[in-house]
């Protein structure tokens, strides 16, 4: 009878060890799955952040273009006005500059 009890205890210990091994195996699988899921979440978060960054930059660039376009058009208009000064006004301005130069040197 004592031998049967010892055998039963040994069998129960082996079963307990098997249960512990199975639990450790399942825990390792759960840990691996959790790591994979966390990596996927990190990748998704990074992709979402990149997409948001690109979208935000594009919005600011578009807004900046909208604000700058009128300034550029005004500058082009003024440039064209300056380029298209009538010849007689240009000659008159040149003559005035020459006259000032001559007068300032003549009076010294």
Dihedral sign computed on CA atoms, order 33, 36, 39, 45 = negative
Q: Which two tokens stand for residue 62?
A: 């578009």
**Count of the separate structural domains present in the chain:** 1
**For residue 62, what pLDDT is reported?**
96
Task: Please say if the pLDDT value at position 100 is more than 90.
Answer: no
Domain residue limits at 83 = 2-106
**For residue 105, what pLDDT is reported?**
67
Q: What is the pTM of this model?
A: 0.53
Dihedral sign computed on CA atoms, order 95, 96, 102, 106 = positive
């Amino acid at each position: 009878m004592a031998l049967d009890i010892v055998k039963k205890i040994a069998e129960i210990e082996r079963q307990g060890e098997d249960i512990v091994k199975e639990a450790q195996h399942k825990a390792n699988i759960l840990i691996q799955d959790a790591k994979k899921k966390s990596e996927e979440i990190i990748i998704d978060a990074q992709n979402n952040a990149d997409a948001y960054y690109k979208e935000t930059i594009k919005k600011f660039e578009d807004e900046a273009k909208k604000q700058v376009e009128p300034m550029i058009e005004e500058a082009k208009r003024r440039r064209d006005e300056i380029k298209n000064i009538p010849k007689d006004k240009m000659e008159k301005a040149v003559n005035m500059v020459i006259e000032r130069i001559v007068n300032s040197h003549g009076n010294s």
